[in-house]
Amino acid sequence: MLFRTGKAPATKAKASKQETPFEARRRELAEAEAELKAAAARHENFIQKAPKIAEEIQKKQRENFLRNASSIDLGGANRGVSLPDNRYLQGDGMVAPRARRRERQQGKWLFFILVAGLVIAAIWAWQMLLPPSF
């Protein structure tokens, strides 16, 4: 700073190299356009390959189905483990559906009897605790 070289200040040179808002917007749009073109190319490529991919998936599924179907021997040793029917199990033995219906009916009658007993007890308590005042 002691010796001046006689050069003009560099601020004007920097100002001329700086990007104007218009140029910045143009650059951003160009970048966005390049990204969109790349995405469109990827999508077009996928659209062209999609039928082949779907055909391969369908072929694998068909092969798996045929392999599984051929391994099942109707009535043979490869039949596999069959699970027991647990629909009617209750406790440790088999109980017929009619027995469960009978239990529901008994439960309904028991509920009715208990409600009737409660009503009778409430009336009795009303009569005993609140004697007539006349």
Q: Show the beta-strand stretches assigned E in the chain.
A: 89-90, 93-94
Q: Which of 17-26, 34-43, 58-67, 122-131 has the highest mean pLDDT?
A: 34-43
pLDDT tens digits along 47-84: 999 999 999 999 999 998 888 877 765 555 555 567 76
Under 8 Å between Cβ of 49 and 42 = no
Closest-CA residue to 63 (of 55, 51, 73) = 55
Residues facing residue 93 across a β-bridge: 90
Q: Which of 9-23, 88-102, 116-130 has the highest mean pLDDT?
A: 116-130
Would you state the pLDDT for residue 89?
64
Closest-CA residue to 72 (of 80, 64, 60) = 80
Would you state the pLDDT for residue 93?
56
